[in-house]
Amino acid sequence: MAEYKWPAMAERSWIGKRVSRLDGPQKSGGRAKYGSDMNPAQLLHGAILTSPYAHAKINSIDTSAAKASPGVTAVITIEDAGKEIQWEGTIIAAVAAETEAQARDAARKIKVDWQVLPHLVQDDDLGKAGSRAKPAGEKIQGDPDAAKTGAAFRMSGEYGIPVLTHCCLEPHGQVIQWKGDEIVSWSSTQSVSNYAGDLGGQIEVPATAIKVHQDHIGGGFGSKFQSDQWGAFCAQLSKQSGGRPVKFFLDRNVELMIAGNRPSHYAKITLGADNAGKITLWESDSWSSGGFAGGNIPPIPYVFTKIANQRLSHNAVSTNNGPQRAWRAPNHPQASYLTCAAIDDLAAKMGKDPLEVFLANFDLTARGDAYTRQLKKAAKLIDWAGNWKGRGKNRQGHIAHGLGIGVATWGGAGHDSRATARIHPDGTVELECGTQDLGTGTRTIMTQVAAETLGLPMDAIRLKIGENAYPPSGASGGSTTAGGVSSSTRIATTDVLNLLFEQLSSSLDNTPAANLEARNGRIQVKGNPAKGMSWREACRKLASPIEALGHNNPRNPRGLNTGGAAGVQVAKVSVDTETGVVTLDKIVAVQDCGLILNPKTAESQVYGAMIMSVCGALYEERIVDELTGRMLNADMEFYKLAGAPDIGEMVVEMEIDPENDARGVIGLGEPPVISGIAAIGNAVANAIGVRVPMVPLTPRRVLDAMNGNGRIS
């Protein structure tokens, strides 16, 4: 049985090193090709007609003018007469034409007779939801009534966090060619290996007839797991256009309306604590909406799951908005905000420093030691002791300063992944895997692992990913990719190296394979480097290429990967009390993440996640108009993202040490995106002296809260 465990920290050549991402030059120079960049010969362009109404019935559709429009090659009706549509942006029909402009012209000529129906698009006021709110049950633990009566301190507050859209910069879409019996797709997908089966299921074509290519993807964040209806109708348009390829990507406005969003969460929360500051009671009435299908129950109380006495009730609100999709750490940022804001408010009620209250209650979490260690580190990095003053007590003129805390937990164990490693007699090495690089650095870490295992430089490894012809590997979601592909790569390269060792044994005095090692471009006898040969010389002894398939089975990850990341973030803000403008001065992340394959790209993940948190805390939200049922900011002027000047100083402290390293690889996509909103929200409350209940913390909401009008709806 081969030994797959990671080499000891001190003995690593590539793993754990700050290696620059391999596709960096291609991306920086605009050479990297995305699905939306593909321009195959004879390309046609797609365009769509969407519903302008949030809720309406189609009386009739007339596509005759569109079919007769110049340049049109195919018109498909997606929703038929009689259909009741439930959100703005629903795709009604699609057109293919010689040019994009001609396709748009034709789509505009499609006539739809609508019967407009009443809608509900806003979800912040449960009282207005009526029958659209569906109770999702009540959960009781311990004796909440007694805890409420007996609590030395009690705090009640309400908190809200709105719907965000994924706003991937590369919109959803693809170029597809359906010619004869074969389909070729250049898609924008988080799941190269599963795309063909998903698309094939929609259009009744065997997965084996569908080839998927994707070198790069311009953002997914959980919204690009499926082939989607646009994959299906784009394929149909191609088929109906004589097998010419068709390019269709969503326009920005439709992208923001229908291509995924993070559900809202609202909660009225009561906390109780004893004289020592120990939390004894959690009560919450929560509601959420992720569109027409309703909303998820948030995982609250978040992290502090062991609060003895709890009563929770939840309502899922169905609204006439585009449907939710997984959004980087689904439901966790919302739950972290709701929970950490309530604990921060409890500390204020007790007149205590929230740092002390969080520390005093970490035994109510699954990993109290980790959170205690991390919060102490974060507090030091932001000089909590020197900077913290009570709520509303740190003012210089009209500028108020504050500090706040947020906590996070995530799994992140590796997914099911297969990779093939192949050594050729000329010494070249191929590594094939049906995974995808979302920009997290997947290419880079796989190459590091392969080079490490084979004792070669990184440029000796020819890595091939992004095609479904390669061994299947899981979708990139839930921080599962790093663990999955690093483990399958480690197993494949270890096994193929053992095959090489076995073939070399006779050339090296019959040294058993177990006593050989690959180091510094040589195959040599362990403990006797002089006895060996160069890699190329060794490979020349092969009669034909050798290969091995590595499989990371999540049920038996062989110690190579695991789940369970903990993180703490602490924010420092300044608030202009005259304008209500919040400035993030500094944010610190302390994150454990097992064995860090590449600190440089790992830190980038954390920086990026913190910046996303700044967006969510201060700027971005979907705004829908109850009167018209329409999204008012389906664009990038008013769907606000932070820019380069808006993000303040960022400090990332990755916990790299033997204890964490021994846990194996843990994915890092989700953990750092969870707690930043809570930290910033709490820092603003600390600065201005009152809670701003609803995020993002826009100037108006800040001023309203300071004037005693803070509310969630």
Partner 1 sequence: MSSPKEQDKHKGSKGEVSRRGFLEVTSAGGAAAATVVLDQPAGAQSRTQAGARIAGPGPVAITLNVNGKMLKVSVEPRETLLDTLRGPLDHTGAKRVCDRGTCGACTVMMDGKSVYSCTVLAIDAQGSKIETVEGLTADLKNDALVNAFVEHDAQQCGYCTPGFMVAAKMLLKETPKPTYAEVKAGLSGNLCRCGTYVGLRNAVLGAAQGGRA
Token pair for 273 = 């604590």
Q: What is the CA radius of gyration of the chain?
A: 28
Residues 139-198 that bind partner 1 (CB under 8 A): 167-171
Q: Residue 45 Cβ, how far from partner 1 at the closest point, in Å? A: 8
Report the C-alpha gap between 309 and 286 in whole angstroms: 17
- Provide the phi-psi class of 359: left if phi over 0, else alpha when psi is between -120 and 50, else beta: alpha
Q: Residue 615 Cβ, how far from partner 1 at the closest point, in Å? A: 8
Q: How far is CA 676 from CA 129, 351, 611, 612, 688, in A?
A: 30, 24, 9, 8, 18
Q: Residue 102 Cβ, how far from partner 1 at the closest point, in Å? A: 9
Q: Residue 24 Cβ, how far from partner 1 at the closest point, in Å? A: 4
Instruction: Mark the segment that binds partner 1 (CB under 8 A) among 19-27, 144-152, 367-375, 467-475.
Output: 19-27
Q: Residue 676 Cβ, how far from partner 1 at the closest point, in Å? A: 10
- x/- binding map, residues 428-467, to partner 1, per CB under 8 A? ----------xxx---------------------------
Q: Which residues contact 671 (CB under 8 A, 6 or more apart)?
A: 329, 408, 409, 410, 412, 479, 565, 566, 567, 591, 593, 609
Which is closer to partner 1, CB of 436 or CB of 561?
436
Residue among 5, 11, 20, 578 that touches partner 1 (CB under 8 A): 20
- x/- binding map, residues 241-280, to partner 1, per CB under 8 A? ----------xx----------------------------
Instruction: Mark the segment that binds partner 1 (CB under 8 A) among 33-41, 122-130, 404-412, 692-700.
Output: 33-41
Residue among 5, 25, 138, 559 that touches partner 1 (CB under 8 A): 25
Angle between helices 228-240 and 192-203 (to 10 degrees): 60
Which is closer to partner 1, CB of 117 or CB of 641?
641
Stated as kind and residue range, the H or E segment containing 314 is strand 309-317
Report the C-alpha gap between 153 and 465 in whole angstroms: 56
Q: How many residues does the chain have?
A: 713
DSSP state of 619: I
Amino acid at position 385, single letter: A
Instruction: Mark the segment that binds partner 1 (CB under 8 A) among 308-316, 540-548, 601-609, 656-664.
Output: 601-609
Q: Residue 37 Cβ, how far from partner 1 at the closest point, in Å? A: 4
Report the C-alpha gap between 147 and 304 in whole angstroms: 16
- x/- binding map, residues 581-600, to partner 1, per CB under 8 A? -------------------x
Judged on CB neighbours under 10 Å (0-12, 13-18, 19+), 208 is exposed
What's phi and psi for 398, nearest 5 deg?
Answer: -95, 5
Which is closer to partner 1, CB of 48 or CB of 232?
48
Report the C-alpha gap between 195 and 468 in whole angstroms: 8
User: Is residue 635 involved in binding partner 1 (CB under 8 A)?
Assistant: yes
Calculate the CA 42 to chain-centre distance: 36
Q: Residue 610 Cβ, how far from partner 1 at the closest point, in Å? A: 7
Residue among 54, 246, 347, 609 that touches partner 1 (CB under 8 A): 609
Which is closer to partner 1, CB of 10 or CB of 644?
644
Helices (H) and strands (E) in the chain, counts: 19, 29
User: Is residue 41 involved in binding partner 1 (CB under 8 A)?
Assistant: no
Report the C-alpha gap between 316 and 101 in whole angstroms: 41
Q: Residue 357 Cβ, how far from partner 1 at the closest point, in Å? A: 30
* Cis peptide leading into residue 696 (ω within 30°): yes
Q: Residue 20 Cβ, how far from partner 1 at the closest point, in Å? A: 5
Instruction: Mark the segment that binds partner 1 (CB under 8 A) among 370-378, 481-489, 610-618, 694-702.
Output: 610-618
Residues 42-101 that bind partner 1 (CB under 8 A): 99-101
Q: Which residues contact 348 (CB under 8 A, 6 or more apart)?
A: 155, 354, 391, 685
User: Is residue 478 involved in binding partner 1 (CB under 8 A)?
Assistant: no
Token pair for 76 = 């498909």
Q: Are 423 and 496 in contact (CB under 8 A)?
A: yes
Neighbours of 540 (CB within 10 A): 12
- x/- binding map, residues 640-659, to partner 1, per CB under 8 A? -xxxxxxx--x---------
Token pair for 139 = 């959960």
SS3 for 282? Answer: strand
Q: Residue 441 Cβ, how far from partner 1 at the closest point, in Å? A: 8
User: Is residue 670 involved in binding partner 1 (CB under 8 A)?
Assistant: no
Which is closer to partner 1, CB of 108 or CB of 663?
108
Q: Judged by CB under 8 A, how many residues of this single chain contact partner 1?
A: 57
Sign of CA dihedral 335, 341, 344, 346: negative
SS3 for 426? Answer: coil
Q: Residue 474 Cβ, how far from partner 1 at the closest point, in Å? A: 19
Q: How far is CA 540 from CA 45, 521, 544, in A?
A: 50, 14, 9
Which is closer to partner 1, CB of 385 or CB of 636?
636
Residue among 33, 57, 128, 154 that touches partner 1 (CB under 8 A): 33
Which is closer to partner 1, CB of 605 or CB of 686?
605
User: Is residue 217 involved in binding partner 1 (CB under 8 A)?
Assistant: yes
- Tally the C-alpha atoms within 13 A of residue 123's C-alpha that lie toward its C-beta: 33
Q: Which of 278, 270, 286, 285 is nearest to 306 (CA)?
A: 278
User: Is residue 607 involved in binding partner 1 (CB under 8 A)?
Assistant: yes
Which is closer to partner 1, CB of 19 or CB of 279?
19
SS3 for 224? Answer: coil
Instruction: Mark the segment that binds partner 1 (CB under 8 A) among 31-39, 129-137, 265-273, 446-454.
Output: 31-39
Residue among 317, 610, 666, 705 that touches partner 1 (CB under 8 A): 610
User: Is residue 127 involved in binding partner 1 (CB under 8 A)?
Assistant: no
Which is closer to partner 1, CB of 86 or CB of 436?
436
Q: Residue 164 Cβ, how far from partner 1 at the closest point, in Å? A: 11
Q: Residue 466 Cβ, how far from partner 1 at the closest point, in Å? A: 14
End-to-end CA distance of the chain: 62
Q: Residue 252 Cβ, how far from partner 1 at the closest point, in Å? A: 5
Residue among 6, 14, 34, 266 that touches partner 1 (CB under 8 A): 34
Torsion of CA 143, 148, 154, 159, to 10 degrees: 60
Q: Residue 535 Cβ, how far from partner 1 at the closest point, in Å? A: 26
Tell me the β-bridge partners of 652: 589
Q: Which of 696, 650, 584, 691 is nearest to 378 (CA)?
A: 650
Q: Residue 594 Cβ, how far from partner 1 at the closest point, in Å? A: 20
The helix, strand and coil proportions of the chain, stated in percent and rounded to the nearest 5, come to: 30, 30, 40
Amino acid at position 463, single letter: L
Residues near partner 1 (CB under 8 A) = 20-21, 23-34, 36-37, 39, 99-101, 167-171, 216-219, 221, 251-252, 438-440, 600-601, 603-605, 607-612, 635-637, 641-647, 650
